[in-house]
Structures are given as C-alpha cells and as structure tokens.
Amino acid sequence: MTKAVAPALATTTANAAVGTGMESGPMLSPRLAALWKRGSDFFGCKIAIMGGAMTWVSERNLVAAICNAGGFGVIACGAMTPALLDAEIKATKVLTAKPFGVNLITMHPQLLELVAVCASNKVSHVVLAGGIPPTEAIKQAKNFAKVMCFAPALVLANRLIKNGADAIVIEGAEAGGHIGPVSTSVLAQEILPAVRSVPVFVAGGIGRGEAIVSYLEMGAAGVQMGTRFVCATESIAHPKFKQAFIRANARDAMPSAQLDKRFPVIPVRALANEGTEEFMEMQRRVVEKFTRGELDQTAAQLEIEHFWAGALRRAVIDGDVERGSLMAGQSVGMVAREEPVVAIIAELVAQAEAALASRD
C-alpha cells in the first residue's frame, strides 16, 4: 500500500525562526505542562520533547530549530573529531540562545576529548550513547553538565544511575538506527514504575501526541523523537532521503540481519533497499577475510560496523537512496509531508491536548 503524500511546505531555516516570536512554542494547558514538568525543568525548555541524535541529520540547523520551537535539540557528534564538534557547537549557538545537548558515542576513541570540548563550550547536557559509558566519562561530564544515558534494561538503568547518570533514556526496538531487542511499550512497563530517582525519557516508535501522553501518564518525564523530525524543512537531509521517508510505511523499516554468530551485529533499523543486501554481502566478505587469516576478530568486527557510517552519509547527504542506509524508525509511516519544526511540534502538542481532553 502506498502512503498518501501531502505537498511540502515552503522551506525555512533555523536562524529564520530566531526573533520571530515562535521560539516559545505552542501554548500549553496547565494539565499537559504539569505532566511533563519534570522533563521540561530538566531540559530548561517548555516542551519535553528531545530530538533524537541522528548522524548527519541532527546538526546545527535542525537542533536550533527544535530548541527555538520550545523543544530540546541534541547534536549528533557521531564520528566527528573534537575540532569538528567544537565548530558545530559554536555554530549552533549562533542560531539559538536556548539550551541544547550533545550526543557522544561511548566507543569513540577520543571520547574524553569530546567531553572536554563540551565543557569548554559550556554545553548544558551531555548524552552518552552507543554502549555502557565509562565511569570516567560520566564523572567528567557531570562537572559541567547534566548527563543522560541509554538503558535497555532495568538492571542497567540502576547501574547507570549509581554511576552518576542524571537521567535515563529507554529506547525500544521500534526506533531507527541501532536498536535493542525489546519494544518500547515493554521497556516502559518494566522501567517507568521502578525508576523514580531520576527523570526517564521514552523513545522508539513515537509519532503522535496521544502516545506521548500515554507515556507521561505512566511516569515518563518526556520523550525522544527522531524519525518525525527527518522531514522538517530545517533538516539538511537530501530531498530524495526525505521523499523516501514520506513514501514509506511502518513495515518498510526493517532491522538488519546478522550473518555469522562469531561477529555479533547490533541490528540497524532502516528502510529496505539495495544497501540492505549489500550489508549482507559485506558481512560475507569480512567473514571470508577472517577465515583466511587476513583480519583478526576485532578488525573484522570494526569493518562490519563501519559499513553504516559511510552508507548513512551516502543516503542523507548525497541522496543515494538505493544503496545508502535509510535509517528510520517504524514511526516513519506517520511522516506525511515536509514541514517546519514549529508545525511538527504544534501538531504533537495539539494531539496530546486532545487526548487529555477526551479523558474528561
């Protein structure tokens, strides 16, 4: 079934929103404001919706636009060098006076240097993702910022809180990019009632305001959303990349497969295309090199993981939607048009308010 496509709105930029009076976001009812007050207080913004850190997509323009619309934007550091991250943070501050976060991948070989860059730029929030963060990284980040960590299970959430995490993000398998095996709804039921000492934000498969309200009522402080913002007019993603999202349905966002159990692959959820098949072929080639003794296991594993960085750039920046990686969450079926961030957030808030009003 082909999804109906609505016409795109006129393109805007993040800096065009600065000073327009739209920075505060839509008006909120006292009821909704109270529901996510813990999250909005934690972020220092009006609307407790955090932009998911999407490599190549979550850069200065989209991050600033989310902040200026009342939400909380997060720069995706990805594989950036410290110098590149420093420039990106400074460029983002030109576009918004609001607080924003920086997402750092825990496996980055220069992780502590990246933390230092965040410190020198007085970043208010550091998000540590992609694995269990080293205690030293948490400790250093806490000297100047609030630290957020991802937890795919209750036991890990408790461990991260003990190690100093100021907030937890639970992300279900419905999300785009690298995913875990458990659905958002199950994680929420497991973790939200048990973790009260720090704010918990829910992510994965969230595309409408009604879902946001349901998690807030379960005890979430707010939510993280990525896929919904890919087709924002402020997003620098290639027009072909955006059109792929607009045309896609939920069932098109599929997790990648693992070829050899000796080389565990963290599943990546993306729209199926030729690149999906190429990933399988690449795994086969790497396994053959390992078998012939041309690569050790660590090098082979890294070669498999590096596939996604290049493939994602080809899709997002170059527009190669046939062979590049179209990382997308299952909420992609709810992306129907290109529109400004302020319109996306206003629609989500309106849906949330309607859901609350229907309970009366």
How far, CA to CA in Å, does 113 sit from each of 56, 129, 140?
21, 16, 10
- Are residues 107 and 186 located together in one domain of the fold? yes
81/54 same-domain check: yes
Residue 264 has pLDDT above 80, yes or no: no
Closest of 268, 345, 336 to residue 307, by C-alpha: 268
Q: Please state, in angstroms and rounded to a whole number, the distance separating the CA atoms of residues 344 and 324.
A: 26
Mean pLDDT check: name the lowest of 7-16, 51-60, 347-356.
7-16
Per-residue pLDDT tens over the stretch 101-155? 999 999 899 999 999 999 999 999 999 999 899 999 999 999 999 999 999 999 9
- Say if 13 falls within a structural domain: no
For residues 163-193, one letter each, b for 16 or more C-beta atoms within 10 angstroms of the residue's C-beta and e for the rest, the string is bebbbbbbbbbbbbbbbbebebbebbeebbe
Interval 321-343 mean pLDDT: 97
Over 50: is that where the pLDDT of 202 sits?
Answer: yes
Residue 289: pLDDT above 50?
Answer: yes
DSSP letters, 72-131, are B-EEE-TT--HHHHHHHHHHHHHH--S--EEEEETT-TTHHHHHHHHHHTT-SEEEEESS
Q: Are residues 79 and 94 in the same domain?
A: yes
What confidence score (pLDDT) does residue 24 get? 64
Query: What distance, in Å, lies between the first and last C-alpha atoms of the chain?
Result: 36
The whole-number pLDDT of residue 77 equals: 97
Within this chain, do residues 176 and 322 fall inside the same structural domain, yes or no? Answer: no
Does residue 301 share a domain with residue 172?
Answer: no
Residue 23 lies in a domain: no
Let me know: does 351 contact 223? Beta carbons within 8 Å. no
Q: Chain-wide mean pLDDT for the chain?
A: 91
Asked whether residue 194 is assigned to any structural domain, the reply reads yes
Q: Is 6 a residue whose pLDDT tops 90?
A: no
Of 166-170, 182-186, 296-300, the least confident:
296-300
Whether residues 63 and 106 share a domain: the answer is yes
pLDDT of 303: 79
Residue pair 51/75 in contact (Cβ under 8 Å)? The answer is no
Q: Are residues 270 and 193 in the same domain?
A: no
**254 and 232 belong to one structural domain:** no
Is 8 within a domain? no
- What pLDDT shows up at residue 300? 79
Specify if 96 maps to a domain.
yes
Q: What is the pLDDT of residues 56-103, one digit of tens each?
A: 999 999 999 999 999 999 999 999 999 999 999 999 999 999 999 999
Q: Residue 52: give the domain boundaries.
A: 28-237+334-357
**CATH code of the domain covering residue 53:** 3.20.20.70
Residue 22 lies in a domain: no
Q: Provide the whole-model pTM.
A: 0.90
318/205 same-domain check: no
| Per-residue confidence (pLDDT) for residue 101, from 0 to 100 | 98
Structure tokens at 156: 């890990």
Is residue 319 in a domain? Answer: yes
- Same domain as 223, residue 178: yes
If asked whether residues 52 and 186 sit together in one domain, one would say yes
**Each residue's pLDDT tens digit, 25-67:** 899 999 999 999 999 999 999 999 999 999 999 999 999 999 9
Separation CA 298–CA 19 (nearest Å): 50
- SS3 state of residue 350: helix
Does 73 fall in a domain? Answer: yes
Counted domains in the chain:
2
Q: Are residues 145 and 287 in the same domain?
A: no
Looking at mean pLDDT, say which of 65-79, 253-267, 277-291 comes out highest: 65-79
- Average pLDDT value for residue range 296-325: 86
